[in-house]
Structure 1
């Protein structure tokens, strides 16, 4: 169907279109006027997700995730918030609501839960795009009640957000407090054990005994090395006392032996002189010879005495080496014992320090969670409080009438086309040729409708002409 034909059809069926349009508009307007008026009160809250937490001292990571705003909307629309608002306004004590609950649910379920669902069904919370603002709207027949209800819901949401942060902190405080008591007992036990060990072994906080004993051990080691060298030298000299005793340094350096040796040399020289002059048996020769033998005996005795002192000195040195070695071993054992005590004391001290660090960390967490459990601040602020709306939010008469007009026109056009399909008529030259499949002989001019008689004659002439035409073959 072309546009001219469509216009011709609408021109012929305009009464149907107008009738349907009028009926639809009248029905919509009537229903809009009969429906009870509802008022929507709106409020707005803003969430601060960038400022650091006053207790933690940093921006909490959960506030920066993409689902944080959606989570807050779900919290705002939760049953807990609704029940808190109901308690604040004491809606569960108002008459009529319990009878309505009995009528709708036949007394099944919980009345407060049902009332919370009713409240939430009229609540709408929607976060603004690309911002941290949540718009809260509540619809009711009474504008004042709608404003009061949405403000109560916002207040309940703020209190609930505080509770959601405080309740875990209270649980953590109880847990950390109990843990802190256990760690304090462990710290006291570790300190008591360390104190008892220090008292038992004479270890004090500024104990310098180990340093003193180490110095003494080093000194004894030095003395032992020096004395071992002296003892080795004395042992060597003692070994020379047998075959080469007259060549020993002690013998050679003795003034008495040197004097007696010189005197023996003089007497031997005199003996040779007298013996060559007086003979072997002369009394002077015999006396001088006896004196020489006596001198030699004295030299030998003095030599034995000197070499004997070397032996005594060597024995003394060996004894001193043995004693010093024993003292060194005793000192080494003492140092090792002190080191073991200090090591064990260091282990006990590390246990105390570890217990102290753990207790300090837990105690810090106790203080932090205790502060968090007493926190009354929140990152939610009221941006706009609701006021009673002046105009109703529904029904919207102008919008409904506009929609009714559009819908009535569509239904009217549809009705016109349906009637045209069910009752086909010849409205143009093309309809004659296409519908009758006959050539068009002529077209009568359209005359204005001057009177009813003229109109009747034109219709009579038209019917005669058309009736004289041959019928199309079937």
Structure 2
């Protein structure tokens, strides 16, 4: 069926078409007027997506994606069953007889309480939409009573704030208990380290000014080193003098005035003895007396040299003993200094351990104090930008929209009814019905106007409407 045929059918049954159209449209209008009016209440809240801490005043900036995730989490918390139960309990909805009767008529299950039943109904009419490009949440609630819709929506806002506070307080209490346990353990550890440090200081005598003691010990070590160097120099000098004395060329011995006098005296006596031997001979008493004097002087000189050699040997031995003693003292002092440095290093390690324990204790104490404050804080990161108010106009039904939809539906119903009736009682209403359905050519359709028809053999003048070759009316 072509569009022309369909329009011809509608025109032929225009009265029926108009009646059906008006009937359907009237039904839509009546239904719209009888439908219960629903009012939409809205509220807007701002959530600090940076998670500002009211105790530490620490704000962590989040990326836009994390911000949306955070808002999504908050929207889920707001539209949670727990929040709905708080609304039911805060508004005391279970005390209304009508609600109780509706609950009994719903045939609840054994575990389905009236609070849960009401919470599910409230959540079905609640809508929460996170703001795009902002940290806001828009809440919408639809109900037949505008006052009830606003009250329920404000109840959800208050319940959400209570849920946020409860979750923070619960987490803060858990953190407080954890930090308190850690504080006890850290306190015991710090006391143990402090006691070990005190015992170590008493044991090694490092209670007062250990660094000054180390400086004194270093000075003593340097003094012993200088004394040892001086003693070694004296020993080398004494050994050199002893060696020269043994060889008979010791300058100190030759420079001694007694030895010099006796050496000169011995030389003079040896000269007199030589002269006496030449002049008087070896048997002369004068010669014998001179020989005796030479022998006595030589003996005294040798005795003096031996005494000086013994004295030099004693000096060498004394220098050796002093060098040995200083070496022992120096080694002992080195060991003392090294031991003291090791003790000071161990002392520094123990002090650092105590300081670290004290620092950790202070930090943990601060976190524990913050958790304790958070556990008692009622502040939230939620700001109510717009509380719900009772809407003045309903959002449904919308009469204009329903009329538009009803008109479209009425047109469809009227056209469908005409088409169905025409299909049950098919009639020839147009030239196309003959040419298309019956396959019969139409040459002329009689009418009130005179037209010329051109056939293949030429124009033909008749009284009536001339039909073209395609069979149009």
TM over 0.5, shorter chain: yes
Instruction: Show the 5 A alignment for 1:34-433.
Output: 34-49=34-49, 53-54=53-54, 55-59=56-60, 61=62, 64-106=66-108, 108=110, 109-207=112-210, 208-242=212-246, 244=247, 246-433=248-435
Q: Kindly state the Cα deviation for residue 175 of structure 1 after the two structures are TM-superposed.
A: 0.8
How far did 1:77 drift? 0.7
What is the SS of the residue equivalent to 2:444?
coil
How far apart, CA to CA, are the structure 2 residues paired with 1:60 and 1:363? 26
How far apart, in 2, do the equivalents of 1:43 and 1:214 lie? 80
Q: Which residue matches 1:469?
A: none
Q: Write the distance in 1 (CA, Å) between the matches of 2:40 and 2:270.
A: 152
CA distance in 2, matches of 1:125, 1:259: 130
Q: Is the 8 A contact 2:49 2:67 kept in 1?
A: no
C-alpha distance in 2, partners of 1:436/1:103?
Answer: 64
Structure-1 separation of matches of 2:159 and 2:63: 22
**Is the CA contact 1:250–1:306 (under 8 Å) kept in the aligned structure 2?**
no
Per mean C-alpha deviation after superposition, the further-off stretch among 22-31 and 79-88 is 22-31
Could you give the per-residue CA deviations for residues 193-216 of structure 1, whole angstroms, max 9, x where no partner exists?
Answer: 111221222102522212211221
Q: Deviations over 1:371-404 (max 9, x none)?
A: 3333333232112122222222223333222211
- Give the Cα–Cα distance (whole angstroms) in 1 for the partners of residues 12 and 21 of structure 2: 16
Aligned-pair CA distance for 1:226: 2.9
Counterpart of 1:27 in structure 2 is 27
Q: Which is further off, 159-168 or 187-196?
A: 159-168
The whole-number CA distance in structure 2 between the counterparts of 1:283 and 1:443 is 209
User: Helix, strand or coil for the counterpart of 1:301?
Assistant: helix
Equivalent-residue separation in structure 1 for 2:387 and 2:208 (angstroms):
67
Q: Shift in Å at residue 300 of structure 1?
A: 0.1
For 2:107 and 2:313, locate their aligned partners in 1 and report how far apart those are by CA, in whole Å.
124
Aligned to 1:453: none
Q: What are the superposed Cα offsets for residues 296-317 of structure 1, whole Å, 9 maximum, x if unpaired?
A: 0000000000001011001111
- Contact 2:90 2:155 (8 Å CA) reproduced: yes
Structure 2 vs 1, CA of residues 132 and 285 (structure 1 numbering), >3 Å: closer, same or farther? Answer: same
Which structure shows the higher strand fraction? 2
Deviations 1:35-75 (A, max 9, x none): 33222222221223358544252225488433222222211
Q: Is the 8 A contact 1:52 1:60 kept in 2?
A: no
Distance between the aligned counterparts of 2:439 and 2:102, measured in 1?
71
**SS of equivalent to 2:271:** helix
Q: Deviations over 1:277-311 (max 9, x none)?
A: 23322222221111111100000000000001011
Q: What whole-Å deviation, never above 9, does each CA across 1:165-185 have from its counterpart, x for those lacking one?
A: 332122112211221122122
Give yes or no for contact 1:128–1:135 (8 Å, CA) kept in 2: yes
In 2 relative to 1, CA 446–89 (structure 1 residues): closer, same or farther, beyond 3 Å?
A: farther
The 1:316–1:441 alpha-carbon spacing in structure 2 relative to 1, beyond 3 Å, is closer
Please name the residue that 1:8 is paired with: 8
Contact 1:123–1:139 (8 Å) recurs in 2: yes
Cα separation, partners in 2 of 1:324 and 1:433, compared to 1, 3 Å: closer
Flag the 1:349–1:51 CA change in 2: closer, same or farther, 3 A: closer
State the alpha-carbon separation in 1 of the partners of residues 346 and 105 from structure 2. Answer: 81
Change (3 A) 1:213 1:445: same
Partner of 2:445, secondary structure, is coil
TM-score by length of 2: 0.87
Distance 1:338 1:129, change over 3 A: closer
Choose between structure 1 and 2 for higher RCO, CA contacts under 8 A separated by at least 6 residues: 1
Partners of 1:50 and 1:410 lie apart in 2 by 55
Distance 1:436 1:59 in 2: 83
Partner Cα distance (2:186, 2:263) in 1 = 91
Unaligned stretches of 5+ residues in structure 2? 450-473
- Contact 1:53-1:60 within 8 A present in 2 as well: no
Provide structure 1 residue ranges, at least 5 long, that are not aligned to the other structure.
448-474
Contact 1:53 1:59 survives alignment (8 Å) = no
String of CA shifts for 1:238-265, please: whole Å, max 9, x gaps: 34554x2x32233212111011001111
